Chain A
Amino acid sequence: MITTEKFSRSYNYAFIDETTKKEIRRKILKGVAIPGYQVPYSSPEMPISRGWGTGGLHASLSLIGPNDTFKIIDQGSDASVNACNLRNFVKRMTGCKTTFDTAEATIVQTRHRITEEVLTDKQIIVFQVPQPEVLRGVERFEFKTRQMHAEADYAKMWVSLYESYVKFGAIMRGAGYPVKVNKRYIMTPSPIPRWDVPNLSHSDTLHVFAAGREKRIHCVPPHTLVEPLEFEDIKFRVEEFEGIRCSVTGEGDAFMDEIYETEGSRKHVINDSNFLDKLREGPRPHQRLFTNPQS
């Protein structure tokens, strides 16, 4: 029968065993060496559900040390329940410092956003990626998509963008807009909104994209060219919040949440919770803003 001893065991620092952490770090390095290439990795099970940020945790926990300061956001917010849950887990397993302040963090884990505040070369941003394969929409089989990437055969992708234009009058890609990294691999930038996509290019920060369920890691190293796919005459455009102001700060020029109140009225609030807090308290943090081309 079960003895108490059998069940009293402590976890390794940062939960994952050292060999696996080393393996994940090596796979990240490979990703850095081949920007945009999807590196398969072991992806051990975590005590949180597949599809809820296991990949992000693998990357963060394999990189984190006692001197790190960890920030995690979900849909731009430090307050999101899943972000709270993962933050508590990381804190419990590492004893590291956690923060909401974007500038203070050394590792930022995120689901579906890049912070409005510009990240520096002292920081790493880890994305939780649900579907790392940018070509999945045009090719079902992993066996074939890997071949297509190897041969840089992206014709199907271009045709799908063209078809979207012909059918709807625009490239109807929402979040996760396909980009070409370092003029070689096409990748999906997790599903961040188009608003954030230009910030991947020539950034000072290392971007690590980790998809736990699909067991792939890909990276955009600092100072790497990232180009959204576009045609000579049909250009990439970010979301437009024309004339829209944040109802809390009165400020514009940030990705907005559209909020409907009980009585049916609509207002907008800046999505990035820490950015919003900083706007309320002091000077506007440094941002990189993209202007849509004239249509």
Chain B
Amino acid sequence: MGYVAIKGGEDAIENASRLTEYERVQSRSKVLEIEQIRTQLGALVDKIMGEGSLYAPEHAALALKQVQGCPLEGAFILRAYRATLNRSYYSQIVDTRNMRVTRRISSAFREMPGGQILGPTRDYSVRLLNTDLTTEDSEDIRSFLEEFDIPEDEFLEAQGSWSKVIDILIEQGMMQAVDDEEDQRVVDITREAIKFPAPRSAALQALARAETGGICSLAYSSMRGFGSAHPTIGELRVGYTRVTVKDRRGRMRCIGTIKVTEAEVISKVKQRKQDPVPYMTLGYGLCFGHNETKAICMGILDRSMRIDDEHPANSQEFVLYHTEGVESYGFTNHLKLPHYVTFQSGLDNLRKAMQRKEDKTQNGKEEKRKTYTVGTAEAEDVPELL
């Protein structure tokens, strides 16, 4: 058990890691460049930047290359990397009214100030497998771009920035501000463990890091029947926003521009006893990159978690603990670790319970036999009596 087994374990780990590397490259296909992943697999890069809670497209692309595109592993690697970085500043509040939008829609109004901008979306495409792509080459790309080239910067400049749909509702007094009673502290869930009931800042941070599929399923549950949410999308924006920090001398410094998706989801507020008006309120979602499903589901869950009801999506603890991708992924996979000690402890209990049952049945049988013997004895006695 001693040295040899240890050596065995270490060799096994080493070989396992070489085997996965072998699987990645064994086909001898062309080397996949980080730049290609970052741009051509942008949706995946955006997804894992959100779940990895690190805005770093190149690192995300690198992580994806390393793990052969597994989004859970990719997000996990980004998170682990993020944990090693120094935290120098907290950013200033970002006002997304100043966002330069590439896409902006509202389901609440037919027109809105600035207009609806469909932008890049697959929403109205027919999902047919595009077999043309099998023969795509750089010449195809070049001729497409020649015909359809909009420098993004110019496009964004032309768009400008716009006030929001909810501003109209707020002005008219139809949308209510957050209750004064609500916990409005801003906490950092990466620096202290989340405690329940969690302030909205913590809940939104957790949702922004949550696994997209996880929050999608819970948000869907609250719309489909386990909850009463069927909110209206006040506004969905995709675009670029500047991030600023205050340096040590108190000067504002722009540290870069990030792409985000923002969803503002309108629903009714719970009616108060004193007030006969069912005001509107907001469910809010914002995540890194272009990930509309995530932003919308965040908005729905932000709202549903603040409703006092008994459905899964109404419980902060249920939603936030179980949609945490890196944690749920890790724990479900830990079942692969050996558990023979705990299993042995259970076996001991089970064997004793079986023994107790056997003893009981044995005793029962003996008792029965006794009655039977008595019975026969009596029967034998009978003739004598006769």
Residues of A within 8 A of B (CB): 1-2, 6-7, 11-12, 15-17, 40-47, 49-52, 54, 74-85, 88, 100, 111-113, 130, 140-143, 168-170, 172-176, 191-195, 213, 215-216, 239-240, 248, 255-258, 269, 271, 273, 276-277
Q: Is B94 an interface residue (CB 8 A)?
A: no
CB-based contact B6/A79 at 8 Å: yes
CB-based contact B348/A174 at 8 Å: yes
CB-based contact A258/B344 at 8 Å: yes
Chain B contacts for A142, CB-based, 8 A: 196, 317, 321
- Complex CA gap A41/B9 in Å reads 32
CB-based contact B58/A1 at 8 Å: yes
Chain B contacts for A112, CB-based, 8 A: 339, 341-342
Interface majority SS (helix, strand, loop, mixed), chain B = helix
CB-based contact A170/B1 at 8 Å: no
Chain A contacts for B344, CB-based, 8 A: 193, 239, 255-258, 271
Q: Which A-B residue pairs are the 3 nearest by beta carbons?
A: A50-B330, A51-B334, A215-B193
- Nearest-CB residue, chain B, relative to A276: B1
Q: Is B337 an interface residue (CB 8 A)?
A: yes
**Which residue from A11, A84, A173 sits with its C-beta under 8 Å from B6?**
A84
Extra A-B contacts (13), CB below 8 Å, given A50-B330, A77-B1: A2-B62, A43-B193, A49-B334, A50-B327, A51-B331, A80-B9, A100-B2, A112-B339, A113-B341, A172-B353, A174-B342, A193-B345, A194-B345
Chain B contacts for A1, CB-based, 8 A: 35, 58
Chain B contacts for A269, CB-based, 8 A: 1
Chain B contacts for A16, CB-based, 8 A: 83
**Which residue from A50, A248, A255 sits with its C-beta under 8 Å from B331?**
A50
Chain B contacts for A130, CB-based, 8 A: 331, 334
CB-based contact B330/A52 at 8 Å: yes
Chain A contacts for B196, CB-based, 8 A: 141-143
Chain A contacts for B35, CB-based, 8 A: 1
Q: Is B255 an interface residue (CB 8 A)?
A: no
- Complex CA gap A81/B11 in Å reads 9
User: Which residues of chain B in 189-233 are interfacial with respect to chain A, using CB atoms and an 8 Å cutoff?
Assistant: 190-197
Chain B contacts for A175, CB-based, 8 A: 341-342, 345-346
CB-based contact B337/A82 at 8 Å: yes
- Complex CA gap A204/B195 in Å reads 33
Q: Is B79 an interface residue (CB 8 A)?
A: yes
Chain A contacts for B339, CB-based, 8 A: 75, 112
Interface majority SS (helix, strand, loop, mixed), chain A = loop
- Complex CA gap A276/B5 in Å reads 13
Chain B contact residues (Cβ within 8 angstroms of A): what range?
35 or more
Per-position 1/0 for B321-350, Cβ under 8 A of A: 100001101111110011111101111110
**Which residue from B1, B8, B330, B353 sits with its C-beta under 8 Å from A213?**
B330
B159 to chain A, nearest CB (A): 27
- Complex CA gap A42/B194 in Å reads 9
Chain B contacts for A88, CB-based, 8 A: 10, 13
CB-based contact A174/B9 at 8 Å: no
Chain B contacts for A81, CB-based, 8 A: 9, 12-13
Chain B contacts for A113, CB-based, 8 A: 341
A263 to chain B, nearest CB (A): 20
CB-based contact B1/A17 at 8 Å: no
6 contacts between A and B (CB under 8 A): A42-B191, A50-B329, A88-B13, A168-B356, A213-B327, A255-B344
Q: Is B258 an interface residue (CB 8 A)?
A: no
B77 to chain A, nearest CB (A): 8
User: Which residues of chain B in 330-381 are interfacial with respect to chain A, using CB atoms and an 8 Å cutoff?
Assistant: 330-334, 337-342, 344-349, 352-353, 356
Q: Is B70 an interface residue (CB 8 A)?
A: no
Q: Is B80 an interface residue (CB 8 A)?
A: yes
- Complex CA gap A113/B334 in Å reads 17
CB-based contact A143/B346 at 8 Å: no
Chain B contacts for A50, CB-based, 8 A: 326-327, 329-331, 334
- Complex CA gap A113/B1 in Å reads 17
Chain B contacts for A258, CB-based, 8 A: 344, 347
Per-position 1/0 for B95-137, Cβ under 8 A of A: 0000000000000000000000000000000000000000000
Asked whether A172 and B349 contact (CB < 8 A) given A51-B333, A193-B344, the answer is yes
A4 to chain B, nearest CB (A): 12
Chain B contacts for A11, CB-based, 8 A: 84
Per-position 1/0 for B11-49, Cβ under 8 A of A: 011000000000000000000001100000000000000
CB-based contact B9/A84 at 8 Å: yes
**Which residue from B10, B349, B356 sits with its C-beta under 8 Å from A84?**
B10
CB-based contact A45/B349 at 8 Å: no
- Complex CA gap A88/B84 in Å reads 18
- Nearest-CB residue, chain A, relative to B325: A50
Chain B contacts for A74, CB-based, 8 A: 337-338
- Complex CA gap A143/B198 in Å reads 10
- Complex CA gap A142/B347 in Å reads 30
